[in-house]
Amino acid sequence: MAMAAVLANGDSQGRPQRNYQVVVAGTRDMGIGKDGVLPWKLPGDLKFFKELTLTTSDPVKKNAVIMGRKTWESIPVKSRPLPGRLNVILTRSGSFDFATVENVVICGSMESALELLASTPYCLSIEKVFVIGGGQVLREYLKGPACEAIHLTDIQSSIECDTFIPPVDFSVFQPWYSSFPVIESNIRHSFVSFVRVRKSVAETHESNGKESTEVDTKNDKFETENFSFLPKMVYDRHEEYQYLNLVEDIIRSGAQKNDRTGTGTLSKFGCQMRFNLRKNFPLLTTKRVFWRGVVEELLWFISGSTNAKVCRTKMGLVLSLANDLIYCRVATGSGRAARAAEDSEGSIDEKPTTGDEGVAAAVGLAHREEGDLGPIYGFQWRHFGAEYTDMHADYTGKGFDQLMDVIDKIKNDPDDRRIILSAWNPSDLKKMALPPCHMFAQFYVENGELSCQMYQRSADMGLGVPFNIASYSLLTYMIAQVCDLSPGDFVHVIGDAHVYRNHVRALEEQIQKMPKPFPILKINPSKKDIDSFMASDFKLVGYDPHQKIEMKMAV
């Protein structure tokens, strides 16, 4: 539908206004231009801009792009007005006359433009409103209360600019999606979409005397609950959909399998998910994930401990090792196994099970002291090849310290293709309470960033995988900091990805929930020794997930 130029210069008088989203390309210090033009040529950026601002979900509607007069004039004559979009030009110049140009609207202010777009006929014909420049407009309206989202082409190279805009306010906006970096015209860049989660600047995220691993629900509570205002091409790229789509695929078409618990599973073989660790932290939001447990368990692995009582002492519960149980009393067969989970109020649910005596006998550990898990994950990481006696022995200097070897190689030989951390030691499997599920990790260094690919032989999609994603992402963050690198990617490769039959209903509920922005992880920057980290060194900002979903652990 062609729209002739309209002149709207009225001042705001409290009439309804449209919300808008900003589209901008900027350097690390938010330089956006030089001498009135973009100081870079990135065909991929132009393609992203065109797709973002042109595409609508309703084929009879179009989007509007708002720009200042100088931005309009910087567009090549042959390309203006931008086709397929309503071009709204902000100017008070009386000589700026485009009365004969279709799809052009001239407004004297941003307020009058947003009011006009909220009125008939534009409220019916315009789907989304994008503000695209220039510097003066963005400086004034980047943080405006009607700004729903910011779509930033993050230029990661040093390019001289003379026009700048303010940085994104992370107390108001959080990353929704960040593309993996690409290099074009020798310029490294990525596309990042931020969404407004609060109407105004939030209170400072202080721990208020609590350990940093305790999420401050008051400060982290979002004022925005539904993010479907995003363009579909951006909304659907939230990385949590990898997990949700995989779960749905397994439920719909997974192979029916028997398992050691007798519960039965639906299973797929050879699955992969990739998470970008550069802007946020992949802690799933469609249900609450026990963050404190993620931190404490990983620190326990790093310590090399095989004593389950250490976890129980720190958290007052029996902690699951990924997607299998820790049999804390497996040595005597007299105790009960438990899968612990934390609900939204921080209380603990412990699901009792039966048959531990049979399990203890099956793994041949009836001679062990209560809580002795054998040479499991942490022991293999720090003492691979050492002869295991019991959880009390001092193994200092015994076996091969894989974790320190990984760190040494990353620091001194980052191109090495053998930066490996393995928990799978065939000669020790019969000595373990249960064989390792997340069994193998490889690290990779590129452009000052550390990435990790982990192979998991068996993965409980409902209870284990959300925990596993967070644990190895956290390990990547920690090793990156120790090695003066930045976190890059976490790649999760799964052999047998399965859904237990008694989890299907709960997971069907979960996949109907809409994701929220992932949180941001902050780590005490002074910690440079992998063995020096404590739970209080980790601060999770902006975690406001949906509530916990009950799932019984199969045993």
In three state form, how does the secondary structure of 214-229 look?
CCCHHHHCCCCCCCCC
Average pLDDT over residues 448-470: 97
| CA 351 – CA 493 distance, rounded (Å) | 29
Asked if pLDDT for residue 253 goes beyond 90, the answer is: yes
β-pairing, 62-68 with 126-133?
parallel
| CA 453 – CA 449 distance, rounded (Å) | 13
Average pLDDT over residues 465-494: 99
Collapsing DSSP to helix, strand or coil, 132 comes out as: strand
| pLDDT one-digit tens code per residue, 83-122 | 999 999 999 876 666 656 789 999 999 999 999 999 999 9
pLDDT at 220: 77
pLDDT at 330: 31
**397 Cβ contact list (under 8 Å, min separation 6):** none
The answer to which of 53-62, 95-104, 286-295 has the lowest mean pLDDT is 95-104
Count the residues in the chain: 555
What is the sign of the dihedral through the CA atoms of 107, 113, 119 and 120?
A: positive
Residue of 545, 554, 542, 555 whose CA lies nearest to 342: 545
Average pLDDT over residues 329-357: 32
Out of 147, 271, 328, 437, which one is annotated catalytic? 437
Residue with tokens 């596309």: 191
pLDDT at 5: 45
Radius of gyration of the chain (CA): 27
The Cα angle at residue 325 between residues 324 and 327, in degrees rounded to 5:
145
Per the annotation, the verdict on 147 as an active-site residue is no
pLDDT at 158: 84
Question: Which domains are delineated in the chain?
Answer: 6-202 (3.40.430.10), 245-305+373-541 (3.30.572.10)
Average pLDDT over residues 491-502: 98
pTM for the complete prediction?
Answer: 0.88
The Cα angle at residue 276 between residues 275 and 278, in degrees rounded to 5:
150
**For residues 519 and 540, is the Cβ–Cβ distance under 8 A?**
yes
| CA 18 – CA 16 distance, rounded (Å) | 7
SS3 content of the chain, % helix, strand, coil (to 5): 25, 25, 45
What is the sign of the dihedral through the CA atoms of 424, 398, 375 and 349?
A: negative
pLDDT at 355: 33
| pLDDT band (50, 70, 90) for residue 261 | confident
The answer to which of 123-132, 208-217, 223-232 has the lowest mean pLDDT is 208-217
Asked if pLDDT for residue 346 goes beyond 60, the answer is: no
Collapsing DSSP to helix, strand or coil, 164 comes out as: strand
| CA 67 – CA 81 distance, rounded (Å) | 11
| CA 122 – CA 126 distance, rounded (Å) | 5
Instruction: Tell me the helices (H) and strands (E) count for the chain, helix number first.
Output: 15, 22
| pLDDT one-digit tens code per residue, 158-201 | 899 999 999 999 999 999 999 999 999 999 999 999 999 998 76
Asked if pLDDT for residue 447 goes beyond 50, the answer is: yes
Phi-psi region of 246 (alpha: psi -120 to 50; beta: other; left: phi over 0): alpha
- DSSP code for 320: P
Question: Residue type for 125, please?
Answer: S
| pLDDT band (50, 70, 90) for residue 218 | low
Asked if pLDDT for residue 9 goes beyond 80, the answer is: no
Question: Please, what is the average pLDDT of the chain?
Answer: 87
Residue of 293, 296, 239, 268 whose CA lies nearest to 463: 293
The answer to which of 93-107, 322-336, 516-530 has the lowest mean pLDDT is 322-336
As a dihedral over the C-alpha atoms of residue 456, residue 461, residue 463, residue 467, rounded to 10 degrees, the angle is 50
Token output for 444: 């990779």
pLDDT at 205: 42
